[in-house]
C-alpha cells in the first residue's frame, strides 16, 4: 500500500506505532498526526517511480524544464495554501510566504545550470589522434531526498529540482516535525502532466528515512551532523553517493575599524533571522578588543528592540522555537555559559507563552571556548561575544571548530575583510555582511569539515551531482591486433 501523504486530525486509535504526532509550534497543541511509511510502503513508492524514470531521462533537458515550469505555475496557483501550511509548520508568516515563493528562483538557477550540460561534442584524442571521444551524461535512476524542519519546503525542493531536471526520479522524505506543506505540493504535482510518475513524497521519521536510503541510487541529506553520519554509513554500506548538508557554528569576526553600526545590524540579522533556526546563522562573535565594548553595547540595544511575533503572527520580528527539543538545547547552552562565567546581558530564558516556546535574542558577553555555546550548534537566537587581540588570534579562534559551513568578516574595507576571509576554514565567507548564503544562491560552495560532504548544491555542480559522466570512445583507425602486444614481437 502506498502510504498517506496527508497530515490528519481526529482519532488515531488502532493505528498504534504507525502514528507520529505533529505539534503546532505556536500553540504547543498536538492534535494532528501522520502515518509513518513502513519499508514496504517506501519500496512500493520507489518501485513506481523507477518504472517511469527511463522515459523521463530520455526526454531533453528543455522538455523536462517545461514540465518543471508547469509545476512551478501549478504551485504558484496554490501559493496561499502552501504559505498557510508552512505558517502552521513553522509558526512564522513573513518567512513562510517567502519560502512558499522560493521555487521560481530555484528553477531559474537550475535552468542556468543546464547550460553547462548541453550537447557534448566529439573531440580528437591528444595522446592518440585517431581516437575520438565524447561524453554522455547519465542521470542516477532514483534520488532520495531527506530534509529537516527549519525550511521544510525549500530544503525539500533544493535537491529535488535539479535531480528531476537531470532526468532522475525523486522520492522525498520531509521532516516529521513539519509535514503539513506536502499535501499542497503533491496537489501541484498531480496537476502537472507527467510529473507524478517520477516525483513523490513519503512521510515518516528516521525509520522511514532509513528505508528510503535502502531503495535509492543516491541520497541527498540536509540535517544534523549526528544523523548525517548515520546516513553516510548506511549509504557507504550500499556504495551509493551521499550528498550531505549538515550543521554549522558560523563565526563572525569584527576587526578594528569596522563600521559598528553596520556590523551590529548584520550580526543581529545573521543570528536572529528565523529565530536563529538556519544552518548559516551566526553563532559565534569575535570582536577586536579596541571596539569590543562599543560593539557589545550597541548589539544589546538592538537585540532588546527585537519583538516576538505574538500574540498576532503578523506582528513583531521573530517566531517561536519550532522544535520542542531544540528549546531544551538553547536553555542548556545559556545555563552552561552562565555557569562558566558568561554574562547574559539580555534575553536568557526560554518562555512558554500560550503553549509556544519563545526565546528573545540573548547576548552573552565574556564567552570562551569552554562553553557549549561556542562549540556545539545552537540553532537559536543566541549571540555569544568574545574579544580578541589581533588578526591571527581571531582567525585561530574562528577556525577552532569541528564545523566549517560558513562565516563572516567585518573590516574597515573589503580588502582587509577578504584577506582575513581567505584564511577561514569554511565553505563560504560573507565580507562586510553576514549569512549572505541565505540571500544569494548563485555562488557555488561546499561545506567544509563536519558541515557536509559532496559537491556544491549551488551552480552547475548542483545539477552535475546527479549526472554520471559516461565516455563514448571511437577508434577511427583499424583496431590493434593482440599481436601488437606480443612479448617477443
Ligand atoms: P535531523 O538530523 O534530526 O533530521 C533531518 C532528517 O533526517 C529528518 O527528516 C529526519 O526524520 C531524518 N532522519 C532521522 N534519522 C534518520 C536516519 N537514521 N536515517 C535517515 N534519515 C533520518 O535534523 P533536523 O533537526 O531536522 O534539522 C536541523 C539540522 O539541520 C541542523 O543541524 C541544521 O544545521 C541542519 N541544516 C543544515 C542545512 C545545510 O544546508 N547545511 C540547512 C538546514 C538545516
Nearest to 398 by CA among 238, 309, 289, 286: 286
Measured CA to CA, the distance from residue 397 to residue 409 in angstroms comes to 13
pTM tops 0.95, yes or no: yes
Which ligand 1 atom is the nearest neighbour of the CA of 212? Answer: 20
- Report the relative pairing of strands 131-139 and 123-124 from DSSP bridges: antiparallel
The alpha carbon of 222 and the centre of ligand 1 are apart by a number of angstroms equal to 5
Measured CA to CA, the distance from residue 464 to residue 186 in angstroms comes to 26
**Cβ proximity of 221 and 49 under 8 Å:** no
The alpha carbon of 96 and the centre of ligand 1 are apart by a number of angstroms equal to 19
**Whole-number pLDDT of residue 94:** 97
- Average pLDDT (305-316) is 97
Measured CA to CA, the distance from residue 12 to residue 135 in angstroms comes to 53
Nearest to 315 by CA among 99, 98, 151, 94: 94
Who contacts 411 (Cβ-Cβ below 8 Å, separation ≥6)? 255, 257, 258, 417, 420, 431, 432
Q: What is the CA radius of gyration of the chain?
A: 25
**Whole-number pLDDT of residue 109:** 96
The single residue listed with the C-alpha cell 590493434 is 480
- Average pLDDT (415-421) is 98
| Four-CA torsion 260, 264, 265, 270, nearest 10 degrees | 140
pLDDT tens digits, residue range 73-127?
999 999 999 999 999 999 999 999 999 999 999 999 999 999 999 888 999 999 9
Residues contacting ligand 1 via CB (< 6 Å) = 146-150, 155, 173, 175-176, 205-206, 209-210, 222-224, 227, 230-231, 245-248, 279, 377, 379, 405, 447, 452
Q: Whose CA is nearest to atom 33 of ligand 1?
A: 247
pLDDT tens digits, residue range 369-378?
999 999 999 9
**pLDDT greater than 70 at residue 3:** no
When pLDDT is cut at 50, 70 and 90, the band that residue 13 belongs to is confident
> Rounded to 5 degrees, what angle do the CA atoms 425, 429, 435 make?
125
Residues with active-site annotation:
245
Between the alpha carbon of residue 331 and those of residues 309, 328, 379, the distances in Å are 20, 5, 12
Looking at per-residue pLDDT, the higher value among 15 and 171 belongs to: 171
Q: Whose CA is nearest to atom 37 of ligand 1?
A: 246
- The DSSP element (H or E) to which 256 belongs, if any, is none
The alpha carbon of 298 and the centre of ligand 1 are apart by a number of angstroms equal to 34
Grouping H, G, I as helix, E, B as strand and the rest as coil, residue 255 is: coil
When pLDDT is cut at 50, 70 and 90, the band that residue 2 belongs to is very low
The single residue listed with the C-alpha cell 550500499 is 238
pLDDT tens digits, residue range 249-284?
999 999 999 999 999 999 999 999 999 999 999 999
- Report the relative pairing of strands 19-22 and 123-124 from DSSP bridges: unpaired
Nearest to 272 by CA among 324, 319, 340: 319
Residue 100: CA atoms inside 13 Å, Cβ hemisphere, count? 29
Omega into 176 within 30° of 0, i.e. cis? no
**Whole-number pLDDT of residue 199:** 98
**Whole-number pLDDT of residue 1:** 40
Residue 87 Ramachandran class (φ > 0 left, ψ -120 to 50 alpha, else beta): alpha
Measured CA to CA, the distance from residue 414 to residue 419 in angstroms comes to 8
**Whole-number pLDDT of residue 441:** 87
Measured CA to CA, the distance from residue 384 to residue 303 in angstroms comes to 12
* φ, ψ for residue 32, nearest 5 deg: -120, 165
The alpha carbon of 149 and the centre of ligand 1 are apart by a number of angstroms equal to 8
Measured CA to CA, the distance from residue 355 to residue 255 in angstroms comes to 42
Nearest to 90 by CA among 181, 179, 174, 25: 25
Measured CA to CA, the distance from residue 157 to residue 263 in angstroms comes to 32
**Whole-number pLDDT of residue 339:** 98
Amino acid at each position: 500500500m502506498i502510504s498517506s501523504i496527508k497530515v490528519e486530525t481526529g482519532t488515531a486509535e488502532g493505528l498504534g506505532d504507525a502514528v507520529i504526532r505533529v505539534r503546532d509550534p505556536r500553540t504547543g497543541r498536538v492534535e494532528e498526526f501522520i502515518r509513518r511509511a513502513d519499508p514496504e510502503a517506501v519500496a512500493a513508492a520507489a518501485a513506481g517511480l523507477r518504472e517511469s524514470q527511463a522515459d523521463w531521462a530520455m526526454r531533453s533537458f528543455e522538455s523536462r524544464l517545461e514540465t518543471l515550469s508547469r509545476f512551478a505555475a501549478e504551485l504558484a496557483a496554490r501559493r496561499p495554501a502552501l504559505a498557510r501550511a508552512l505558517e502552521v509548520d513553522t509558526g512564522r508568516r513573513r518567512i513562510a510566504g517567502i519560502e512558499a515563493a522560493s521555487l521560481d528562483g530555484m528553477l531559474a538557477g537550475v535552468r542556468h545550470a543546464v547550460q553547462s550540460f548541453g550537447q557534448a561534442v566529439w573531440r580528437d584524442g591528444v595522446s592518440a589522434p585517431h581516437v575520438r571521444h565524447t561524453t554522455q551524461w547519465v542521470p542516477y535512476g532514483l534520488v532520495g531526498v531527506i530534509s529537516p524542519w527549519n525550511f521544510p519546503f525549500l530544503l525539500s525542493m533544493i535537491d529535488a529540482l535539479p535531480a528531476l531536471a537531470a532526468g532522475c526520479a525523486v522520492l522525498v522524505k520531509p521532516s516529521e516535525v513539519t509535514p503539513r506543506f506536502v499535501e499542497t505540493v503533491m496537489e501541484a504535482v498531480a496537476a502537472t502532466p507527467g510529473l507524478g510518475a517520477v516525483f513523490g513524497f513519503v512521510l515518516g521519521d528516521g525509520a522511514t528515512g532509513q528505508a528510503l536510503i535502502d531503495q535509492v541510487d543516491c541520497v541527498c541529506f540536509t540535517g544534523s551532523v549526528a544523523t548525517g553520519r548515520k546516513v553516510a554509513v548506511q549509504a557507504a554500506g550500499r556504495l551509493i553517493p551521499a550528498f550531505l548538508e549538515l550543521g554549522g557554528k558560523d563565526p563572525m569576526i569584527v576587526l578594528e575599524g569596522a563600521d559598528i553600526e553596520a556590523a551590529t545590524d548584520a550580526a543581529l540579522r545573521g543570528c536572529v533571522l528565523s529565530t536563529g533556526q538556519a544552518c548559516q546563522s551566526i553563532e559565534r562573535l569575535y570582536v577586536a578588543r579596541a571596539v569590543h565594548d562599543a560593539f557589545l553595547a550597541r548589539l544589546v540595544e538592538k537585540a532588546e528592540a527585537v519583538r516576538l511575533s505574538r500574540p498576532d503572527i503578523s506582528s513583531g520580528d521573530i517566531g517561536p522555537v519550532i522544535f520542542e527539543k531544540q528549546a531544551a538545547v538553547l536553555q542548556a547552552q545559556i545555563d552552561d555559559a552562565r555557569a562558566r562565567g558568561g554574562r547574559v546581558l539580555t534575553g536568557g530564558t526560554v518562555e512558554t507563552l500560550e503553549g509556544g516556546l519563545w526565546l528573545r535574542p540573548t547576548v552573552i558577553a565574556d564567552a570562551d571556548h569552554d562553553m557549549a555555546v561556542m562549540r556545539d550548534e545552537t540553532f537559536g537566537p543566541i549571540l555569544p561575544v568574545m574579544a580578541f587581540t589581533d588578526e591571527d588570534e581571531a582567525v585561530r579562534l574562528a577556525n577552532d571548530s569541528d564545523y566549517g559551513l560558513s562565516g563572516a568578516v567585518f573590516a574597515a574595507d573589503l580588502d582587509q575583510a577578504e584577506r582575513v576571509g581567505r584564511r577561514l576554514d569554511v565553505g563560504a565567507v560573507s565580507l562586510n555582511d553576514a549569512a549572505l548564503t541565505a540571500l544569494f544562491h548563485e555562488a557555488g560552495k561546499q561545506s567544509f569539515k563536519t558541515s557536509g560532504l559532496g559537491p556544491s548544491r549551488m551552480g552547475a555542480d548542483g545539477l552535475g551531482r546527479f549526472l554520471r559522466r559516461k565516455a563514448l570512445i571511437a577508434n577511427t583507425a583499424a583496431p590493434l591486433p593482440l599481436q601488437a602486444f606480443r612479448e617477443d614481437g
